[in-house]
Amino acid sequence: MKTLQNYFDAKNVSPDLQKLIFSLLWAGANFYELTLFHYDFQNFYADTTNKSGDRQLKIDVAANDVFVGLLKENDVSLIASEELAEPMKGKSGGKYAVAFDPLDGSSIVDADMSVGSIVGVYEGDSVIGRKGSEQVAALAFVYGPQFTFFITVGQGTLAGVYRPENYPDDIAEEKRHDQFYVSNENVTLTEDGKYFAPGNLRAAASESWYMKTLQEWIKAGSTLRYSGGMVPDIGHIFIKGGGIFLYPGTAQKPDGKLRLLYECAPFAFLVEQAGGKAITQKGDRILDITVEFPHQTTSIFLGSKNDVEKIIGKIKS
Ligand code: AHM
Ligand code: MG
């Protein structure tokens, strides 16, 4: 397998961006092997809630600490996390602003299901007033039976895997990069997928278009693949090469619950670079939405192009 380093060299990715991406991967590897693997899930809740009102788990806070710790050592001027009320300052004059969800899938982690991290990278020192289309890189890490990852630097989307020879704290810094491999350097989504991952399924009780769409997928013989974790669910679409993930809003909560900055914009970038589509329930491109406040949410439909487009027609009809 080609190493990620070889891929970056072939694509002429700037050394600064490479360094940041490897640090993020390293944060993921540290969290996966040193924190998550040994975690005591009996002792679950922290005494805090995050800005979205979710009760924080100790593991959410631990994941956040690993990423923030490594980002502070990098050329990063702004660190924005789903687990921080407000973005925090990093290095003054740092080249990048980084937005992330350190642990996606908090509600299923104790059941030992796959979880992950999601990251969007911008140049500059702000995330507010920016659009997802300004991202220079997006990453999603899956912590499952293996640590797999999806990365785009705007030249297609790659899938990769971490193949460690040693525990992360036992390996020399100069050897770290050699442990990340590219398994598919050109993830490509088919225009029609045969898998559906319906988030917020509860909304089907009040939104008739959603109930109708689900019935049509079932009648068409599509396969349900839904874990309750956005990262493994979209990761599944990338690995299988097609499908749709959605998290719609309702009349009461039109913008759903998934966060634009930490979850939707990075995944929209990854999906578009794989030839797919990512839009809101109204049909607006996710990457064109301006971030107005850090924990802003949006409805989202993303994945195989035709599957995503067809739903919009159903909502309108
Ligand atoms: P989290 O970042 O607190 O884990 O929340 C995001 C997760 C997504 O991974 C998943 O798609 C969604 O929440 C599931 O939400 P719900 O339980 O409301 O269906
Ligand atoms: Mg999340």
Q: Is 200 in the pocket of ligand 1 (CB under 6 A)?
A: yes
pLDDT > 90? residue 169: no
pLDDT higher than 80, residue 132? yes
Query: Structure tokens of 25?
Result: 């991967």
Mean pLDDT taken over the chain: 94
157 DSSP β-pair partners? 152
Q: Is the pLDDT of residue 44 over 80?
A: no
- Among 107, 233, 260, the mutation site with the greatest number of ligand 1 atoms within 8 A of its Cβ is 107
Q: Give the pLDDT of residue 313.
A: 81
CA dihedral for 89, 90, 92, 97, sign (positive or negative) = negative
pLDDT of residue 164: 87
What atom in ligand 1 is closest to the CA of residue 258?
Answer: 6
What distance in Å separates the CA atoms of residue 150 and residue 138, rounded to the nearest whole number?
Answer: 8
Q: Can you tell me the mean pLDDT for 241-267?
A: 97
SS3 at position 297 = strand
Is the beta carbon of 229 within 6 A of some atom in ligand 1? yes
Over range 76-82, report the average pLDDT. Answer: 98
Look up the CATH architecture of domain 2-184: 2-Layer Sandwich (3.30)
Tens of pLDDT along 183-197?
A: 999 999 999 999 999
Is residue 175 very low, low, confident or very high in pLDDT (cuts 50, 70, 90)? confident
Q: What is the pLDDT of residue 317?
A: 59
Pocket flag, ligand 1, residue 208 (CB < 6 Å): no
CATH class, domain 195-316, is: alpha beta
Helix locations, the chain, DSSP H: 4-10, 15-30, 58-72, 208-219, 230-240, 265-273, 305-316
pLDDT reading at 214 higher than 80: yes
Q: Do domains 2-184 and 195-316 have the same CATH topology?
A: no
Mean pLDDT of 205-216: 95
Distance CA 82, CA 92 (A): 22
User: What are the backbone dihedrals phi and psi of residue 120, each rounded to the nearest 5 degrees, phi first?
Assistant: -120, 135
Residue 166 vs residue 284, higher pLDDT: 284
Domain extent listing, the chain: 2-184, 195-316
The H-or-E segment that residue 144 falls in is none
- Whether the full predicted model's pTM is greater than 0.85, yes or no, is yes
Nearest atom (ligand 1) to Cα of 201: 19
Residue 55 pLDDT exceeds 90: no
Residue 223 in this model has a pLDDT that exceeds 90: yes
**What is the predicted pLDDT for the residue at 172?**
78
Q: Is the pLDDT of residue 49 over 80?
A: yes
Indicate the pairing of strand 96-104 with strand 76-81. parallel
User: Is pLDDT at 130 greater than 90 in this prediction?
Assistant: yes
Q: What are 5-35's pLDDT values in tens digits?
A: 999 999 999 999 999 999 999 999 999 998 9
